[in-house]
Amino acid sequence: MTGVNAVETLKTVERISSDLEKNSHLLKTELVSIIQRQDINTLFQPIFGFANNALFAYEALSRGPDNSVLFQPDMLFETAYHHQLADELDYICRRKAVENFAARKLTGKLALNICPSVLVNPDFRSGRTLQMLKEVGLDSERVILELTEHQQTDISKLKQAVNYYKDQGFSIAMDDLGAGYSNLRLLAELQPDFLKLDKYFVSGVNSNCVESEFVKLIVDLAARVGCKVVAEGIESAEDLLFVQSMGVGYGQGFLLGRPQEQAVADVPDILLETAIRTATTTVVKDSHAGNATQHNHERVGSLCLRTTLPCSSGDRLTSILNRFQSNPKLQALPVVDNGKVSGAIIRDHLLNEFSKPFAHSLYHRAPVSKLMLKNPLVVQVADSISLVSQMATSRPFDLVYCPIIVCDNDTYIGTLSIRELLEKITKTQVAHALHSNPLTGLPGNVRIASEVQLRIDKNDSFVLSHFDLDNFKAFNDKYGFERGDNMICLVADLLSQTILDGDFVGHIGGDDFVMIFSSEAWESRIWNMLQLFSEQSLLLYNDSEKERGFIEATDRLGHIRQFALASLSVSAAICSPGKFRSHLAATEVIAGIKHQSKKIDGNSLVVDRREG
C-alpha cells in the first residue's frame, strides 16, 4: 500500500468512526428524551390455555414512539444496554405496561419482560414494583416476570432474586427457551413456573422433524421440575396442532392474536377447531388401547341437540341472510326438502358472498340452492360419539366449526354444535384420567368393573382374562424402581398392541392386568403376546442374569435365593350370555383358576371353559 493510499484509508476510517459516534450520540439523545417523556407504547399479545381453550394471560410488549428511529424493540433496548440506561428504560416500560393493563381492565395474568441483569439490581428490589401494582390495584399473583436472555448474569445472584420474587407472589417464566446461552442450567437452578418455547421450535415444525424431539424433551423436563410450557410463534393451524399434540399447555402467536394496544379478548375459532381435532385424535389413540369404550357406547342422541328450524332449497337467499343477521350465534342452517336433508347454508360463506359488489342485486331472487353446501356432514342419532368426532374433524378447516346435522334414518332431528361435542369428549377424558393408572395410563378398577358389567348386561359373549407378572418383586428389588416401571410398561404396551376393536385392556394395579376379548382368535393372540414378552423382557436384565436364566434376590423371609426370569401367568374365563349376573361372579371364577396358572413354570394360560 502506497503512502497516499494509506492516508486515504485512514481518513475513511476516521470519517466512519466519526459518523458512528455521532449516530450513537443521536440515539442516546433520543433514548434519554423517550425516558424523560415516558413516551413508551404498550402492546398486549394474548396467551391462551389449551386445556380449557380460554384466555390465560397477556404479554406486555414495549415499543418506542411511532415516528422514532427507536420504535422497534430490538433497537430500543440495544441502545439502552449500550449506553447503560437499561434499568431506567425497563422501569418506564414496566410502569406503562402495568398502568395500561389496569386501565383496560384486562382479565388473566400480566407477563412482563425483565432482563436478568435488571432483576439482580438491588434497586429493582426496593419495592417499586409492588408499589406500582398497589397503585393500580393489581395483585402480584397476577404478574409473571419473564426472564429474557440478552445478557449473561451471575446465576447464583439471579437464583436469589427469583426466590425473592416468588416469595412476593410473582410467577417466573424463562423466555425464548432454546435461544439463550445457558438454558438447561437456568432451568435446573431457577425452576421457573413457566417455560417459553422459542418460535424456532414451533413455527413450521411437525412431528417428523428433528426439532420435535427437542420439544418432547422440553415438555418432559418441564413436567419433572413442575413448570408449564408456553409455545411462542404459533402462526398457522399446523403449528397449533403440533404444539397441542406435543402436550404443550399454553400458546401465543399471530394465529391466536397479534400484539396490539386494544388487547384481543375473544377466543379465536381456530383454537376450538384444533382442540377438537386433538381431542378426537386422543380418543382414536385411546380406542386402540381399549380406553375409549365409553365413546364407542355413547350415542349422539344422548347429547344436547338443537332443534334448529331448517330452510328449503327453494327459499330465497335474502330471507336466510336476514335470519343470520338477526341471530349472531346461528352458524349454519340445514336445508330440508320433503323431509330429507339436501344440504346446508353456512353463515360465513353466505355473508362473504353478500359482501361482494353487486351481490344483493345478483342474489335478490336467488334460491338457497344457489349457495348451499350440497354435502354437509349428516350423522345418525345412533352413531357413536367417537365415530362422529372423527367424521367432524376430518372436514376442511373452514367447515370444522360448523354444526353437525343429526337425523333418525332420513328424518331431520336437529343439529349438534362442535362445542357440545368437545365438552362431552373433554368430560369423558377427565373421568377416564381420574380412574386410570398413573404409570401406564390404562383404565383402573372402576372402569374394569364397568366394562365387564356392561357386557354381562348386554348378554354379550366375551372372554375375561387376568395377567399376573411372575417374580416381579424380586426383579424390582434387584434392579430398582425405574427398571421395574419399565417392566410394567412393557406388559401394558404389549397388551395394548394385542387388542382389536371391541376388546379392552385395564390395569388393576402393581403387576396385575385385565383384558376383555370380544373378538376372534383371542387364545392365539395371548400366546403371541406371551412370546413377545419373553423376548423383549430379556432386554431389561443384565447379561450375566440372562445367561444364567435366574437372578439372586432376597425373599419375603429375608433369605437370598434364586428367582426365575419374569413370566406371565394368564387366567381366562369364557363368559357366554347368561353365565354371570355380575362382574363380581366373573372375577370369582378368575380368582379360582389363578392359583392353577401360578403353579406352572414360565408363561402359562389356564382357561375356564365351563358353560354355566
CATH number of the domain residue 361 falls in: 3.10.580.10
Do 73 and 179 have their domain in common? yes
The pLDDT value given to residue 198 = 85
**Does some domain include residue 468?**
yes
The pLDDT value given to residue 177 = 57
Instruction: From residue 150, give the alpha-carbon distance in Å to each of 50, 160, 233.
Output: 29, 19, 19
- According to DSSP, the β-strands at 228-231 and 250-251 are parallel
The pLDDT value given to residue 367 = 95
The pLDDT value given to residue 22 = 66
Mean pLDDT of the chain: 83
Out of 21-30, 190-199, 350-359, least confident range:
21-30
Which of 390, 425, 460 is the last residue before a domain boundary? Answer: 425
Please report which helix (H) or strand (E) contains residue 512, including its range.
Answer: strand 512-517
- Supply the CATH number for residue 109's domain: 3.20.20.450
Which of 425, 446, 461 is the last residue before a domain boundary? Answer: 425
CA distance 384 to 387: 5
Do 416 and 548 have their domain in common? no
Q: Grid coordinates representing 240? A: 397449533
Residues 35-65 pLDDT 10s: 888 889 999 999 998 877 788 999 999 998 8
**Does some domain include residue 362?**
yes
Residue 274 — pLDDT band, cuts 50, 70, 90? Answer: low
Do 252 and 324 have their domain in common? no
Do 32 and 140 have their domain in common? yes
The pLDDT value given to residue 3 = 56
The pLDDT value given to residue 515 = 95
What is the rounded average pLDDT of the residues 284-309? 64
Do 263 and 299 have their domain in common? no
Q: Grid coordinates representing 512? A: 396385575
Q: Does pLDDT of 203 surpass 60?
A: yes
Residues 87-106 pLDDT 10s: 888 888 989 999 999 999 99
Do 471 and 505 have their domain in common? yes
What is the rounded average pLDDT of the residues 284-295? 46
377424558: which residue's cell?
429
**Does some domain include residue 397?**
yes
The pLDDT value given to residue 293 = 45
CA distance 300 to 384: 6
What is the rounded average pLDDT of the residues 204-215? 72
**Does some domain include residue 430?**
no
Q: Alpha helix (H) ranges present in 246-327?
A: 269-288, 293-297, 317-326
- Supply the CATH number for residue 545's domain: 3.30.70.270
Which of 395, 425, 455 is the last residue before a domain boundary? Answer: 425
The pLDDT value given to residue 283 = 46
Do 370 and 336 have their domain in common? yes
Residue 275 — pLDDT band, cuts 50, 70, 90? Answer: low
Q: What number of CA atoms fall less than 13 Å from residue 124's CA on the CB side?
A: 22
Residues 451-477 pLDDT 10s: 899 899 989 999 999 999 999 988 988
Do 80 and 158 have their domain in common? yes
Of 115-129, 225-239, 265-279, highest mean pLDDT: 225-239
Out of 155-169, 199-213, 342-356, 515-529, least confident range:
199-213
Residue 208 — pLDDT band, cuts 50, 70, 90? Answer: low
| DSSP classification of residue 311 | B
Out of 15-24, 203-212, 220-229, 342-351, least confident range:
15-24
**Does some domain include residue 75?**
yes
The pLDDT value given to residue 31 = 86
Q: Does pLDDT of 294 surpass 60?
A: no
Residues 6+ apart with CB under 8 A from 49: 55, 56, 249, 250
Residue 509 — pLDDT band, cuts 50, 70, 90? Answer: confident
Q: Alpha helix (H) ranges present in 416-520?
A: 418-434, 445-457, 472-479, 481-498
Residues 320-378 pLDDT 10s: 999 999 998 888 999 999 889 999 999 988 998 999 988 888 998 899 999 999 989 99
Q: What number of CA atoms fall less than 13 Å from residue 14's CA on the CB side?
A: 6
Which carries the bigger pLDDT value, residue 221 or residue 2?
A: 221
**Does some domain include residue 286?**
no
The pLDDT value given to residue 276 = 56
Strand ranges across the sheet with 512-517: 504-509, 512-517, 462-470, 567-575, 604-608
Query: Which residue type occupies 121?
Result: N
Do 171 and 317 have their domain in common? no
The pLDDT value given to residue 221 = 77
CA distance 46 to 546: 56
Which carries the bigger pLDDT value, residue 5 or residue 395?
A: 395
Closest CA to 93 of 121, 63, 126: 63
447464583: which residue's cell?
156
Do 104 and 252 have their domain in common? yes
CB 426 within 8 A of CB 413: no
Residues 583-608 pLDDT 10s: 888 888 898 888 888 889 899 999 99
Q: Does pLDDT of 109 surpass 60?
A: yes
Do 473 and 579 have their domain in common? yes
Closest CA to 215 of 232, 190, 193: 232
**Does some domain include residue 458?**
yes
Residue 250 — pLDDT band, cuts 50, 70, 90? Answer: very high
Which carries the bigger pLDDT value, residue 176 or residue 74?
A: 74
Do 63 and 194 have their domain in common? yes
Q: How many residues does the chain have?
A: 612
Host domain of residue 67 = 19-267
The pLDDT value given to residue 322 = 94
Number of domains in the chain: 3
How many percent of the chain have pLDDT more than 90?
A: 34
**Does some domain include residue 172?**
yes
The pLDDT value given to residue 333 = 94
Residues 133-152 pLDDT 10s: 999 999 999 999 998 765 56
Residue 273 — pLDDT band, cuts 50, 70, 90? Answer: low
Closest CA to 317 of 361, 285, 276, 283: 361
